Chain A
Amino acid sequence: MSVPLPESLLVLERGWLSANNILCFDGDAAILVDSGYVTHAAQTVDLVGHALRGRRLKTLINTHSHSDHIGGNAALQAAFGCEVMVPAGLHAAIADWDEDALLLSPLGQQAARFQHDHLIGAGSEIDMGGLVWQALAVPGHDMEALAYYNPEKRILISGDALWENGFGVIFPELLGEADGLLSTRSTLEMLSRLPIDVVIPGHGSPFAAVDAVFERAFRRVDSFAANMDKLAWHAIKVIVSFAMMEKRQLPLKDFPAFLHQLPFAVDVNQRYIGLPADELAARVLRELLLVNALRRDDGNLLAG
């Protein structure tokens, strides 16, 4: 069964490549949380326009600045004239359009440049959908990410800090930075202390059974903390899957070259796994086929 949400909230859920877009209606106006991946932007504009039914999109707010959450920002801004609000810690990366800090170059992803109008900091409150939401710092997957929590209805808009099955890749250590694992754990501890009835995650359907979800998430972060190679390998597979979702298909023989164009995968392999190039591609391919993240069709490789 789908989880009951207030009438004023509409989750636009597509596949994994586009993060969920959450429309929050209040009278004749609306606020949207996150905008999906750039290659889906035209459909995102259509979807939002359709759901608005004449109401005005006044603000677009992001949970964090990864490509699958900000890809529609520019198109939505152009289509609806909405103001864009981003987490305060991301001001410089977005203002300077720092493609490394935004992880676009390392992950081989695209986004359309946009300008934000406002910043929102952890600890501040924002009205969305007739409810008051607290902006919570949820560092880990992205050190500057915010989640939005409404204590009255006990709803958490978690972005990639908490999914029904885990959370977004913990990037900091893999990018040569610090504290991603520790921060992920304290973020989960902080969130697990909140009274939560429903989580609207960045990817996947809204869910209610939060105790089991936290248990799973804690187990996962602890297993990564105990074994960095496991985190590294998981991250490589996620990033290759994501890149293939965008690419859709390629000749099977081109897969090794495709993988080796992703700087993050090459670098993380070098630093943590140390497989020779051909073995890396063969092993990633084997494991992604096994979980149906990729499929073979004659001489082609297709996203799952």
Chain B
Amino acid sequence: MIASPCINVCAMNPQTGLCAGCYRTIDEIAAWARLDDPHRLEVLAAVARRQQAQQPHEEDSRNNGKRHG
């Protein structure tokens, strides 16, 4: 099983509609336990894209560390 990208931040960013910790939508978080590995990989790929797109603006405000390149 592919592990969840959750890093225990678990708070939605109202501006992006994504979790501030793992960059998933509510839909993706709710569905996670039911997803098979290929679908989990799709979510992880989307997460990686969003992270890259957002990180430049968020570097200063985000302090959870794990996603810092």
Q: Which residues of A contact B35 (CB under 8 A)?
A: 2
Is there a chain A Cβ closer than 8 Å to B53's Cβ?
Answer: no
- Tell me if A17 and B8 are in contact (CB < 8 A): yes
Is there a chain A Cβ closer than 8 Å to B57's Cβ?
Answer: no
Q: Which residues of B contact A1 (CB under 8 A)?
A: 1, 36-37
In the bound assembly, the distance between CA atoms of A13 and B19 in angstroms comes to 14
Within 8 A of A (CB), among B12-69: 12, 19, 26-27, 29-30, 32-37, 63-66, 68
In the bound assembly, the distance between CA atoms of A43 and B29 in angstroms comes to 10
In this complex, how many residues of chain A approach chain B with their Cβ under 8 Å: the count is 35
User: Contact size class for B?
Assistant: 20 to 34
Of the candidates B6, B19, B33, B64, the one whose C-beta lies within 8 Å of that of A249 is B64
A67 to chain B, nearest CB (A): 13
Of the candidates A18, A39, A206, the one whose C-beta lies within 8 Å of that of B33 is A206
In the bound assembly, the distance between CA atoms of A39 and B64 in angstroms comes to 14
Is there a chain B Cβ closer than 8 Å to A80's Cβ?
Answer: no
By secondary structure, the A interface counts as mixed
In the bound assembly, the distance between CA atoms of A155 and B55 in angstroms comes to 42
- Tell me if B7 and A303 are in contact (CB < 8 A): yes
Q: Which residues of A contact B34 (CB under 8 A)?
A: 2, 5, 10-11
Of the candidates B4, B10, B36, B68, the one whose C-beta lies within 8 Å of that of A40 is B10
- Tell me if A297 and B68 are in contact (CB < 8 A): yes
- Tell me if B33 and A205 are in contact (CB < 8 A): yes
In the bound assembly, the distance between CA atoms of A202 and B11 in angstroms comes to 20
Is there a chain B Cβ closer than 8 Å to A286's Cβ?
Answer: no
Q: Which residues of A contact B33 (CB under 8 A)?
A: 2, 10-13, 20, 205-206
A129 to chain B, nearest CB (A): 14
- Tell me if A10 and B4 are in contact (CB < 8 A): no
Q: A42-B11, A248-B64, A297-B68 are in contact. List 17 more A-B contacts (CB 8 A).
A: A2-B35, A12-B33, A13-B32, A14-B10, A14-B29, A15-B6, A18-B8, A18-B10, A36-B10, A43-B11, A44-B10, A46-B12, A46-B26, A51-B30, A248-B63, A249-B64, A303-B66
Residues of A within 8 A of B (CB): 1-2, 5, 10-18, 20, 36-37, 39-40, 42-44, 46-47, 50-51, 205-206, 245-246, 248-249, 295, 297, 300, 302-303
Q: Which 6 A-B pairs have the closest CB atoms?
A: A40-B10, A15-B6, A302-B65, A15-B8, A11-B33, A17-B8
